[in-house]
Chain A
Amino acid sequence: MGKSRTSLSWDRLIDFLLPIVAVLAALLVGAVLLLLLGENPFTAYTVLIRGSLGNVNGLTQTLTKMTPLLLVALGICIAFRGGMINIGGEGQIILGALATTAVALAFPTWPRWILLPVVLLSGALAGAFWGGIAGVLKARLNVNEILSTVMLNVIALQLMNFLLRGPMLDPEQIAAGTNIAQSAALPKQVWLTRLVPRTLLHSGIILAIVLAFLVYLLLWRTTIGYRIRAVGLNQSASRYAGIPVRSYMALSMILSGGFAGLAGAVEVTGVHHRMIEGLSGGYGFSGIVAALFGHLHPLGAIPASFFFGALLVGADKMQRTVQVPSALIVALQGLVVLFVVASEYYVRRRSRRRVAVNPDEPSSDEPTHLGQEVIGV
Chain B
Amino acid sequence: MKEFFTVAVLVGIAHSGIRLAAPYLFASLGEMVGQLSGVLNLGVDGIMLMGAFAAFYVVFMTGNLWLGLLAALIVGALMGLLMAVISVTMGAEQGISGIGLYLFGLGLSSLLFKTMIGSVESVSGFSTLRIPVLSELPIIGPIFFDHSVVVYLAYLMVPVSWYLINRTTLGLKIRAAGQNPEAADSLGVSVNGVRYITVIYGSAMAGIAGAALSIGLLNVFQENMTNGLGFIAVALVYFGGWRPFGILGGALLFSTVNALQLWAQVLGLPIPSDLAVMLPYVLTIIALAFAVRQVRQPAALTKPFERGE
Contact = CB atoms under 8 A, between A and B. Distances in A.
Are A and B in contact, CB atoms below 8 Å, in the complex?
yes
Contacts of B93: 292, 341, 344, 369-372, 375
Interface string B78-112: 00001001100011111111011111111111110
A144 interface: yes
Interface stretch (B135-143, B168-176, B284-292): B284-292
A165 B278 contact: no
B302 A372 contact: yes
Given A334-B46, A369-B93, A147 B99 contact: no
Contacts of A162: 272, 274-275
B107 A338 contact: no
Q: Is the interface of B mostly helix, strand, loop or mixed?
A: helix
Given A144-B238, A147-B238, A162-B275, A289 B96 contact: yes
A354 B223 CA distance: 47
A165 B289 contact: no
Contacts of A348: 91
B281 interface: yes
Interface residues of A, number: 54
Contact of B100 (A142, A328, A334): A334
Contacts of B303: 371-372, 376
B111 to A, nearest CB: 4
A52 B104 CA distance: 22
Contact of A338 (B86, B275, B294): B86
Nearest to B82: A338
B297 interface: yes
Interface string B253-284: 00000000000000000001011011001101
Interface residues of B, number: 57
B6 interface: no
Interface string A22-55: 0000000000010001000000000000000000
A85 interface: yes
Contacts of B238: 144, 146-147
A284 to B, nearest CB: 11
User: Would you call the interface of chain A mostly helix, strand, loop, or mixed?
Assistant: helix
Interface string B181-198: 000000000000000000
A323 to B, nearest CB: 12
Contacts of B284: 147, 151
Interface in A320-361: 325-338, 341-342, 344-345, 348
B164 interface: no
Contact of B103 (A152, A325, A337, A344): A337
A341 B301 CA distance: 18
Interface string B295-309: 001001111100000
Interface stretch (A153-161, A197-205, A226-234, A267-275): A153-161
B274 A148 contact: no
B107 A154 contact: no
Contacts of B82: 338
Given A150-B234, A372-B302, A155 B100 contact: no
A143 interface: yes
B232 interface: yes
Contacts of B115: 37
Contacts of A154: 228, 278, 281
A345 B289 contact: no
B126 interface: no
B274 A331 contact: no
Contact of A341 (B92, B102, B107): B92
Which of B86, B104, B108, B277 has the most A CB atoms < 10 Å from its CB?
B104
B86 A341 contact: yes
B278 A325 contact: no
A288 interface: yes
Contact of B289 (A85, A143, A336): A143
A337 B95 contact: no
Contact of B101 (A144, A292, A338): A338
Contacts of B231: 87, 150
B235 interface: yes
B95 A371 contact: yes
Contact of B285 (A143, A328, A336): A143
Contact of A150 (B110, B232, B272, B297): B232
A330 B107 contact: yes
B289 A151 contact: no
A158 B111 contact: no
B297 A146 contact: no
A372 B234 CA distance: 20
30 contacts: A33-B111, A37-B115, A87-B231, A141-B289, A144-B235, A146-B238, A147-B288, A150-B231, A150-B234, A151-B285, A158-B274, A162-B275, A289-B99, A325-B111, A325-B114, A326-B110, A327-B113, A332-B107, A333-B107, A335-B100, A337-B103, A338-B104, A341-B100, A342-B85, A342-B97, A344-B90, A372-B302, A375-B302, A376-B302, A377-B301
Given A148-B285, A325-B110, A369-B93, 13 more contacts: A147-B235, A147-B236, A151-B235, A161-B274, A288-B95, A289-B96, A328-B111, A334-B46, A337-B97, A341-B97, A369-B91, A372-B302, A372-B304
Interface of B: 42, 46, 82, 85-86, 90-97, 99-111, 113-115, 223, 228, 231-232, 234-236, 238-239, 272, 274-275, 277-278, 281-282, 284-285, 288-290, 294, 297, 300-304
Q: Which 6 A-B pairs have CB atoms at the shortest separation, nearest pair first?
A: A331-B107, A334-B104, A334-B103, A337-B100, A330-B107, A327-B110
